[in-house]
Amino acid sequence: MARMFTNSIYYVHEKSNMVELNKDIPVLQPKVQADTPEIFEQNVKELVSDLGKKAKEIDTLIEGLPGIQRTEEEQVSAD
């Protein structure tokens, strides 16, 4: 999941377009490799969805762990 998160941040950094935040500081050179706003928004939504699904999968796996209520011997014998 950490790799997915890192790759998502890299995508946003590389493919986002430059936006003028201050009229006194204009954007002189827009990013050449930036996606169109529509494509960028669609891809970001997909990245968010994928990260959310992965987090739910991890939560499900964690919930399936035996927990601290059982001793090591009980956990081993249960398998």
Angle at alpha carbon of residue 33, lines to 38 and 11, rounded to 5° = 70
Annotated domain spans of the chain: 2-18+28-67
pLDDT band at 79 (very low <50, low <70, confident <90, very high): low
Of 8-12, 30-34, 38-42, 50-54, least confident by mean pLDDT is 30-34
Query: One-letter amino acid identity for 4?
Result: M
Each residue's pLDDT tens digit, 34-53: 999 999 999 999 999 999 99
d(CA 26, CA 46): 31
Write down the pLDDT at residue 19: 84
What pLDDT band is residue 65 in, cutting at 50, 70 and 90? confident
pTM of the entire structure? 0.70
